[in-house]
Amino acid sequence: MEKQMDRRKFLSYLGTGAAALAAASAGLGTLEGKASAASKTADHLFGFKTNRVSGYFEPIQPSSEDQLILPKGFQYDVVAAFDDVINKDGDKFGQGCDYNAFFPIDGSNNRGLLVTNHEYTNIFLHGPIKDGKMTAEQIKNELYYQGMSVIEVYQDENGAWKMDTKSKYARRINGFSKFELTGPAKGSSAVGNVSTVTGTFANCSGGVTLWNTVMSCEENFSTTASAASLNATHYGWVVEMDPFDGSFLRKHTALGRFNHENTAMGLAKDGRVVVYMGDDKKDACVYKFVSKNKYNPSAGKGNSNLLSEGTLYVANLKKGQWIALTIEAVKKVLESASFKAPSGVKGTKEDLLKMFQTQGDVVTNCHEAALLLGGMPTDRPEDIEISPFDNTVFICHTNNDNHGNIHGHITRIFEKDNDLGATEFDFEIFAAGGRQSGFSSPDNLAFDSNGNLWVVTDISSSSLGKGVYTPFMNNGLFVIPTSGPSKGDALQFASGPVECEMTGPFFTPDERTLFLSIQHPGEETSDLSKPTSLWPHRPGDKIPREAVVAIRGFKLG
Ligand code: FEO
Ligand code: CA
Ligand code: CA
């Protein structure tokens, strides 16, 4: 679609320095100046210490081509694709690549570890599944090809990004890996009295902690758990791993169990750690965890223990309140003489009293506990990011046709007194999908150091190019300023191949490279002899390959 906006103004805006932008920021009112990009808080939270221009580009138009299309002057390298060998042991890159996080080796922007989530599997791994029931071999592949990959990547003498398969760090974490449980459900009857569990899968998006580990989110876990006859209460958690230490694998039950999309970590004014999280389902809630104890920068990975004890809150958007999810509160509601189960909660009062006996039960059955206590059902809350400029919190509400929310929107939360630890907030609809904005169904988010939000879209493959989705064509990557004169305007930076969704945008610290996953190209294929996509069109390939690409061409200012 043709954008109805002053593009020249926007481009000059993109080239403006971050500090000037913060000063010019319109609409932030009282927040302005409290946490500019140059402030200690913003730097501390996000590691953006400079003021680079990462987004100068000529916007592209929507496309239905089976290509990854980028603006003039940009190019991409396929770094790792489905089934590529990643190390000397012959381990393979997983399928359904999603979240990415880059960790420099020895401070380098040209060599580092790339952690990638693998969310799901499809026909290009399994072939057709007969009568909807997987064979033993298919189940083994299901558990192997989901999870996470750690690979080592570098730029060669020509600047091209490649995978170093001789890496001592490269490894897979998947359905066979062992995890230590932490928090209220550890050892509790809610999870079958265990303290360790086997396997992670359905790893969607994630986040990096303040101590440089990765949080990976188990989203739609039930299909795989059921196919493999696994205890479903062992999945649907947030996993923490250390790219440089293969022995460190935890699942933090204090952060709740639901269809986790991602995590966004920041600090309350008093130094407690705050983690925002979305439950990617129609009519599901937004959560935040606030640790009991305070962050200690010198403790490094020891801070991970903060994630085992604290308060899990759910958002009530009507009251502007964060409601604490405690067993005491749940019992009080259930024991009330006038109790009536809210919409979305199944079972009688007696069933529910049996389900909720301990805090372990609350975190394990988080969605039900949230609805019982007044959590607001919303429109598929996916990625959440905290602005490095002003501590406002951006949430992608992807869409929800139950409510006629066809194109979704991005909600922006303003915590009371600009404190991430607050229990009260206000919010605005920062940007809405639709023909007026040029994007539909926002999903993953990433900030650059100019305060621009990079947004990928997730129009479902079966809807792409049809009905009211027609004008958007294939899924895209958009750049949206969060302050200044072009606040909320979306410009298209990339168009993905046929039936793909682009996921996991992540910049190198110098913002000269953007890693991005190309998930499920050709997803609607039902006959392997007629794939609907062949991206990335590798010579000899007869199927598409989900892959992580490295995009370069970013200018420094
Ligand atoms: Fe895995 Fe909610 O996207
Ligand atoms: Ca997602
Ligand atoms: Ca998605």
Please compute the mean of the pLDDT values over residues 489-507 and round it to a whole number: 96
pLDDT 10s digits, 225-258: 999 999 999 999 999 999 999 999 999 999 999 9
| Cα 276 to ligand 2 centroid, rounded to whole Å | 15
- Which ligand 1 atom lies nearest to the CA of residue 219? 1
pLDDT 10s digits, 43-61: 323 333 333 334 478 889 9
Residues shown for the chain: 557
Tokens at residue 370, please? 């949230």
Q: Please report which ligand is nearest the Cα atom of 383.
A: 2
| Cα 261 to ligand 1 centroid, rounded to whole Å | 6
Q: Please report which ligand is nearest the Cα atom of 96.
A: 1
Whose alpha carbon is nearest atom 1 of ligand 1?
204
Sort residue 41 into left (φ over 0), alpha (ψ -120 to 50) or beta: alpha
| Cα 544 to ligand 1 centroid, rounded to whole Å | 20
State residue 556's pLDDT score.
Answer: 65
Residues, Cβ < 5 Å to ion ligand 2:
382, 443
Q: Please report which ligand is nearest the Cα atom of 380.
A: 1
Answer whether residue 23 shows pLDDT above 50: no
State residue 481's pLDDT score.
Answer: 86
Please choose, from the candidates 455, 515, 522, 504, the residue with its C-alpha nearest in 3D space to the C-alpha of residue 78.
515
Please choose, from the candidates 428, 433, 431, the residue with its C-alpha nearest in 3D space to the C-alpha of residue 404.
433
**By the 8 A CB rule, do 170 and 180 touch?**
no
DSSP assignment string, 260-320? EEEEEEEE-TTSEEEEEEEE-SEEE-EEEEEEEEEP-GGGGGGGGGGGGSEEEEEEETTTT
Please tell me what DSSP assigns to residue 344.
T
| Cα 53 to ligand 3 centroid, rounded to whole Å | 28
pLDDT 10s digits, 88-98: 999 999 999 99
| Cα 341 to ligand 2 centroid, rounded to whole Å | 30
Q: What's the CA dihedral at 254, 258, 261, 265 to 10 degrees? A: -20
pLDDT 10s digits, 90-139: 999 999 999 999 999 999 999 999 999 999 999 999 999 999 999 999 99
- The Cα 373–Cα 330 span in angstroms is 7
Beta bridge partners of 477: 456, 494
- The Cα 229–Cα 5 span in angstroms is 53
Pairing of strands 272-279, 286-294: antiparallel
Average pLDDT, whole number, for the chain? Answer: 90
Beta bridge partners of 427: 413
- Which ligand 1 atom lies nearest to the CA of residue 205? 1
**Helix or strand (DSSP H, E) at 369:** helix 366-372
Please choose, from the candidates 249, 127, 256, the residue with its C-alpha nearest in 3D space to the C-alpha of residue 200.
249
State residue 557's pLDDT score.
Answer: 52
| Cα 205 to ligand 1 centroid, rounded to whole Å | 7
- Which ligand 1 atom lies nearest to the CA of residue 382? 2
Ligand 1 binding site (Cβ under 6 Å of any ligand atom): 119, 204, 219, 261, 280, 382
pLDDT 10s digits, 341-359: 999 999 999 999 999 999 9
| Cα 456 to ligand 2 centroid, rounded to whole Å | 9
Answer whether residue 11 shows pLDDT above 50: no
Q: Please report which ligand is nearest the Cα atom of 259.
A: 1
| Cα 154 to ligand 3 centroid, rounded to whole Å | 28
Please compute the mean of the pLDDT values over residues 413-442 and round it to a whole number: 97
Reported as a pLDDT band with limits 50, 70 and 90, residue 41 is: very low
- Which ligand 1 atom lies nearest to the CA of residue 204? 1
Reported as a pLDDT band with limits 50, 70 and 90, residue 17 is: very low
**By the 8 A CB rule, do 241 and 148 touch?**
yes
**Three-state secondary-structure class, residue 222:** helix
Single pTM value for the model: 0.91
Answer whether residue 189 shows pLDDT above 90: yes
**How far are the Cα atoms of 41, 182, 393, 397, 517 from residue 451, in angstroms, in the given order?**
15, 35, 13, 20, 22
Poorest-pLDDT segment among 28-37, 52-61, 303-312? 28-37
Answer whether residue 151 shows pLDDT above 80: yes
- Which ligand 1 atom lies nearest to the CA of residue 119? 1
Please compute the mean of the pLDDT values over residues 273-301 and round it to a whole number: 98
- Which ligand 1 atom lies nearest to the CA of residue 259? 2
- The Cα 325–Cα 345 span in angstroms is 15
Tokens at residue 84, please? 């590529």
Beta bridge partners of 412: 394, 428
